[in-house]
Structure formats: C-alpha cells, structure tokens
Structure 1
Amino acid sequence: MAQLPTELKGWIESNADDLDERADGAASILPRLAGADVLRIGVPRAQGGLGGHINDVVGAIADVSSHSLAAGFVFWGHRTFIEYLLQSPNERLRDRLLPDLLSGRRAGGTGLSNAMKFLSGVEALQIKAAAQDGVRTVTGKLPWVTNLRVAGFDVAAAVQGEGGSTPFVASLSSDSGGVKRSPDLALMGMRASSTAAVDLDGVRVNEDDIIHPDAGVWLPQVRPAFLGLQCAMSIGLARRSLAETELRLNKNRDVLAAEVDALSRDLDVAEGQLAAGLLDARFIAAPAPLFRIRLQLAAIVSGAVQLELAASGGQAYLSEPGRSFQRRLREAAFVPIITPSLVQLKTVLREHERRQAIVETA
C-alpha cells in the first residue's frame, strides 16, 4: 500500500474511534487529506496533481482505510468525484471545480450509486429533467451520499433527460437554489463521513454543469474507477485486521496462523487482479470480473475481522480494550451494503451468467 505522511497517519490513527462514533470531526477529514497532498495522487501534473495512475490512488485510499474507514470513505467519495471531472469532456467544469477540490476547500460527492444500479439494470434513474422556455431543471432525490460537507459541496448525479430523452450526468452545487441537504444520516458507525441525503427541487442546470451528455456511454468508462477505488476501502480494512491478528498469534493462538496466511494470499491475489484490470482497462468492456473481485474482497474482510476476534478473545468484547476492534467490526458490516451492494452484484452476475449460458448453448 502507499505510505501516508507520518503526520496524517498519526492524526487518523489517534482519531479513528471518534471519527466512527461522532459526527463533530467531519469538518477536519478533508482538510487533513488535502494538507498531506493525497487528494492530488493520480491527477495529472498539468491539472494541479502529483501525476501517477489510478492504482496509486487505490493504494492511498487503502492506506487511509486501514486506520479509519470513515476517513477512507470520505477519501473515496471525494477522489471519485475528482475522477469524474478528469474523465469528463467538459474542460470548463473541470477548470472551475478542480482547484477547490484538490485543496480541500470544497467537497465532492459521487452521487452515482443510483446510476451504477441503473447501468446494471437494477433500478430506474431517480432524478428527472424538465425544460421550459429554454431553462433545464432537475428534480429528485439522492438518498445516500457521503462527503456532503455542510460548508459546501458539489455532487454528481445521473439524470433522466426531459421527455424520456438521453440520460446525462451533471454536477450540482450546494449553493444552487433547490438543493437541500438533510441532516447527517444516523449511521451505526462512520459518523464523521458527512453522509446525508439531497433533495433536488427544480435545480437549474446549464451546459457548464454537464459532466457528460450521455450517461449510457460515459458510465461504463468511469465504473472501473468508481468500483476500483471502492475496493480500496476493503483492502485497507482487511490488511489492518490481518495485521492485528498476526500481533496476537502467541503460543495459545498460533493455530490461527495457517488461516491468516491463506487469507493474506487471497488478498494479495485479489489486489493483483484489481491492479492489472485497472492498468489495462479491461473492466470497461468486461465488468463482471471486477464485480467478482469486489465480492471476494468483502468475503476477505469478513474473514479477517473474524480472525481478529478469535485471536483477541474476550478482550475484544470489553468496551475499552476492544474499542478499536469493535470499530473494525462495524466497518466490516458496512462493506456488504456499499452500493452496489453484494446482493445487487450477485443479482447482476447471475443474470450475466444466465445470458452467457444461453449464448453458449445457442
């Protein structure tokens, strides 16, 4: 994994439990990430970044997530929105938003969970466009978006075109009329992730706000980054739980060593498959292997946390000695439900395999 600056790593580690349990640290996460320049990883130097590849971003998000999934979740949401701009043909939008995003002055939310389910045929788009007298507006709801900082945010949304026309992807500003952020959702954990809902009521959208005019063309291109960076959260959490388990493999619990080694090998393989697929862009045309990697990583996270519990024994169930483990247990419970959820991915893969079987027998 990428190495975090020592100061950032120390801050996240010392605040991880509070970031999980309390919302009042939410305003600190993004400025801390920006101050360490990790938001610039994988962004071209010509656009204010440090250069590098999307795999470098995976490493950085994994490293942050190994200390706090709340911070990793914010990092994922923000950096994924940046990736949308990097892959957008709209240079004016990119030039307008990117400086404040890279500096942490402004938050970015992915907002495309519904769109990714739409792309896989799981559900219809929840935001609709209308046009009157040459003015385009959008109305609908984003029920669950992270990194919606109260101080100001921009969020991506896939919109059904007016009159059933081509769906498009737009960037919507918290400063725009008709954009209303809910209070933070009452999550079981990761309370400092600024996760909320957004109601959109007649929000004006012009050409300068369009990330891409054709969601059906653009979403498959950006989906590998969306899911690949999401996988980084699982990688970081699994690595940390396995490392904590190894620290506890004394003479009374060394019976777990073989299971730790096997799970670590599985994690290495999954990481390698993810990196290779992101490097050669194979997931754009063939997303099913990426879905399977996401499923496998979720299983590895679950196994790693259970091994940490077994190695920790009764101390894990005590409030103070087990506080950090209990946080990781809550974090692991979140992994299966991040959109697309494991149930949604399994549903899509089942349909993919059914169609493939029909083709092969035809």
Structure 2
Amino acid sequence: MSQRVNLPADLVEWLAGVACDVDTGAVPAAEILPRLASAGLVRAGVPVEKGGTGGDIVDGIAAIAAVAEESLAAAFILWGQRTYVEYLLQSPNGVLETQQLGHILDGQVAGATGLSNAMKFLAGLEPLQIVAEADGDDLILNGKMPWVTNLRRDGFHVAAAVDQADGGPALVVTVSHNDEGLVRSDDLELMGMCSSDTAALTLTNVRIPRERIFSDNAGQWLPKVRPAFAGLQCGMSIGLARRALSEAGKIAGAGRSVLGEPTAHLIQRLDRAEARMYEGLRSHEFETNAVPLFEIRIELAEIVAEAVSLELQASGGKAYLAGPGRSFARRWREAAFVPLITPSLVQLKAALLERQAAA
C-alpha cells in the first residue's frame, strides 16, 4: 500500500518554483534545510517523546518521497538529515542523542550520513577509508570521504565508519564541521542536484573524544541501521517515479492513449514494491536478510527509469524544447542519478551475485 504525506502548501509552492534552480545550483543550498525542518519533515517517524511527530520509519520515507516529487536535490538533503537522526535514535550512546538530536531535528545543524563507504564495506565491496588510532581517551582520525551530501557550511555533523589501527572491530563515529584537521572541499561539480551541499572531506589527525562513538562494533550495528539507511534512500526513487507517472498520465492525450496501459502497470509495480518494503521494514526482516531490500532498491530504480521514459513519450517533442521541457529535463537528470546513489545498482547486483554463488 502506498503511503503519502501532504506537504504544507507554501513549501510545495516554493519547491515547485525553485526546483530547476536547485538542480543547477542557482538557489543556495543553505535555504533548503531550514524550510524542510520548519515544515516538520525531519521529525516524521521520530517518537514524540524524542521531539518527533510520531509514527515509524515508513513515515520518514513518505516525507522524503513527498519532497522528491518536487525536487530530488531537496529530498537528498532530507535523506541525509533524517538518516543521521536514525543513527542517533539507534545508537547505544545516549550522550550523542542528548547533545545533538534537538539541533538536528530543528535544522540548526546539518546531519550527514558518511556511511555509504561503510555500507559497501559491510557488503564486501570496498575497504574503509578512515583509520582511527587510540590516544588515551581520544581517537585520532586520518582518511577521506570523497562524496558526502548535506555538508552545510553553517554547521554539520557527519557519521563515519573507521578502522582501528591496532585491530579490533571497526567503529562508527561522528565528526563535526569545526573539528581541527577536518577540511571540506568546495561543492562537487555535479551534472545536477547542485544545491545539495555535496562535497568531499579530508581528515588529518582529527581528534575526537570516545563520547563521539555511535557504535564500537560496526559489523554488528550497521546491519541494524542499514534498513533505515536504504529505506529512506528509496523514498527518493518513490517520489520521483510518482511524479513522472503523474505527469505522463496528465499529458497522454490524443494519439498517445497507447501509453495508458503501461503507465497503469508501472503504477501497480510501484505500489507493490512500496508495500513489500514497508512490510519488511516493520517486521525487521531486513536486519537479518538484506537481499530482499537490495532487490527492492534495484526494482525501484528500474521503475524510475521506465517512468521518466513514459513521461518523455507522453510529452513528445515538447519535452525536448528548452522552455516547456525544463522540468522534464530536470527529472531526466534526477533519474540518471538514482542508479548511482551508493551503493550503486552495479554494486548491489554484484553483491547479490556473490551471495548467490556462495549459497
């Protein structure tokens, strides 16, 4: 069953007006997070007693999907923020939650999920890129994060998985914008999604106290938070697919009625994939078996590609005109980004093949 969130009318109006400029970077990224937070979207699915609006992770996904219908770049920011919230909620370290959760929920500080590398590490796809060396009660971090979204220049916290130099389980920690030795690059020159505060981080002898550890055993903790990480990520695909299918349905007029059946079929596929994902998230099935979640992520990306293709066919030549086709061109670029979101579709498919070969 599809789950939807109705965004405030003023936010929908603003996003609709700036979506193309957000994509190209003409609108400052600094304007986006405060608007999303003031609309309460970061609080969706967060327990009321923790400062949220209640519900569960599905409500968080629905909020991201609703924003993605208007702007994938804005939804990408919300995904980073809301995923960081999930790390705070699921960490055994209550000190971090007490110190950071309120500021993250109200958007005063950005929360960035630098755990894409960690999720690939967990699936056996690549090594960790940061090393931690113990120094008394502190950790000294060295390494890099080549691609992180929501690194708001006004202030951010970013989660990172790190190897221990002296052996032992990998750790999950958080570093902050004002930590000495942490350097944020200029924004990456992306093809689209430009106003998303996406940059690289270099860590050179960054010292943090052990109180900044989310988990002292990444291999055990990450599988528990991976369903939220990937599920919230899937909200972006759901929203973009919905919008493209809605546009295709609106404009498929005379001479294009042949597109009605494939559009209806794709809507049914989207609804089934959503329902299957929500069922697995609520039953906690994906914590012990990530394969179905990987398969859903792959299917949603395929649905997005087919949806924008149907919108193109329904629009006809108008979609290729710079003026009338401006919003479609943005969605086309957004759809091209979906397979690349870490873990990429190629990486997920490779992981699935390895698991099948090992079975």
CA deviation digits over 1:247-288, x for unaligned, max 9?
A: 112121111001101111110100000110111110000100
Instruction: Name the structure 2 match of 1:107.
Output: 110
Whether 2:300 is the aligned partner of 1:282: answer no
Give the superposition deviation at 1:134.
5.0
CA deviation digits over 1:40-64, x for unaligned, max 9?
A: 1111111111111000111110000
Instruction: Name the structure 1 match of 2:156.
Output: 153
Q: Distance in 1 between matches of 2:316 and 2:229?
A: 37
Q: Distance in 1 between matches of 2:25 and 2:272?
A: 35
- Matches for 1:299-338 after TM superposition, within 5 Å: 299-338=302-341
- Where do 4+ consecutive residues of structure 1 move more than 3 Å? 132-135
Instruction: Name the structure 1 match of 2:146.
Output: 143
Instruction: State whether residues 184 and 196 of structure 1, in contact with CA within 8 Å, keep that contact through their aligned partners in structure 2.
Output: yes
Instruction: Name the structure 2 match of 1:191.
Output: 194
CA deviation digits over 1:316-337, x for unaligned, max 9?
A: 1111110000000000000000
1:204 to 204, 207, 213: 207
Instruction: Indicate how the Cα distance of structure 1 residues 167 and 314 shifts in structure 2: closer, same or farther if over 3 A, else same.
Output: same
Question: For residue 250 of structure 2, what is the amino acid of its counterpart?
Answer: L
Instruction: Name the structure 2 match of 1:360.
Output: none
Equivalenced residue count is: 356
Whether 2:261 is the aligned partner of 1:263: answer no
Q: Distance in 2 between matches of 1:293 and 1:166?
A: 30
Q: Distance in 2 between matches of 1:23 and 1:139?
A: 34
Whether 2:43 is the aligned partner of 1:19: answer no
Instruction: State whether residues 227 and 286 of structure 2, in contact with CA within 8 Å, keep that contact through their aligned partners in structure 1.
Output: yes
Whether 2:351 is the aligned partner of 1:353: answer no
Whether 2:53 is the aligned partner of 1:47: answer no
Instruction: State whether residues 263 and 300 of structure 1, in contact with CA within 8 Å, keep that contact through their aligned partners in structure 2.
Output: yes
Instruction: Name the structure 2 match of 1:226.
Output: 229
TM-score (norm 1): 0.97
Give the superposition deviation at 1:133.
5.0
Instruction: State whether residues 23 and 193 of structure 1, in contact with CA within 8 Å, keep that contact through their aligned partners in structure 2.
Output: no
Question: For residue 314 of structure 1, what is the amino acid of its counterpart?
Answer: G
Q: Distance in 1 between matches of 2:17 and 2:138?
A: 50
CA RMSD of aligned residues (A): 0.9
Q: Distance in 2 between matches of 1:23 and 1:352?
A: 44
Structure 2 counterpart SS, 1:211: strand
- Residue segments in structure 1 that go unaligned for 5+ positions in a row: 357-362
Instruction: State whether residues 215 and 221 of structure 2, in contact with CA within 8 Å, keep that contact through their aligned partners in structure 1.
Output: yes
Instruction: Name the structure 1 match of 2:64.
Output: 61
Instruction: Indicate how the Cα distance of structure 1 residues 91 and 188 shifts in structure 2: closer, same or farther if over 3 A, else same.
Output: same
Question: For residue 59 of structure 1, what is the amino acid of its counterpart?
Answer: A
CA deviation digits over 1:197-250, x for unaligned, max 9?
A: 010111112121011111001000000000000001000000000000001121
Instruction: Indicate how the Cα distance of structure 1 residues 290 and 196 shifts in structure 2: closer, same or farther if over 3 A, else same.
Output: same
Question: For residue 226 of structure 1, what is the amino acid of its counterpart?
Answer: F
Whether 2:126 is the aligned partner of 1:123: answer yes
Instruction: Name the structure 1 match of 2:295.
Output: 292
- Residue segments in structure 2 that go unaligned for 5+ positions in a row: none
Structure 2 counterpart SS, 1:142: strand
Q: Distance in 2 between matches of 1:277 and 1:133?
A: 42
Instruction: State whether residues 144 and 195 of structure 1, in contact with CA within 8 Å, keep that contact through their aligned partners in structure 2.
Output: yes
- Matches for 1:18-37 after TM superposition, within 5 Å: 18-22=21-25, 24-37=27-40
Q: Distance in 2 between matches of 1:136 and 1:34?
A: 32
Instruction: State whether residues 23 and 194 of structure 1, in contact with CA within 8 Å, keep that contact through their aligned partners in structure 2.
Output: no
Structure 2 counterpart SS, 1:225: helix
Instruction: Name the structure 2 match of 1:86.
Output: 89
Structure 1 counterpart SS, 2:161: strand
Whether 2:177 is the aligned partner of 1:174: answer yes
Structure 2 counterpart SS, 1:67: coil
CA deviation digits over 1:280-320, x for unaligned, max 9?
A: 11000010000000000000000000000001011111111
Q: Distance in 2 between matches of 1:284 and 1:72?
A: 24
Instruction: State whether residues 73 and 195 of structure 2, in contact with CA within 8 Å, keep that contact through their aligned partners in structure 1.
Output: yes
Instruction: Name the structure 2 match of 1:75.
Output: 78
Identity %: 53
Give the superposition deviation at 1:9.
1.4
Structure 2 counterpart SS, 1:180: strand
Structure 2 counterpart SS, 1:171: strand
Moved more, 4-13 or 303-312: 4-13
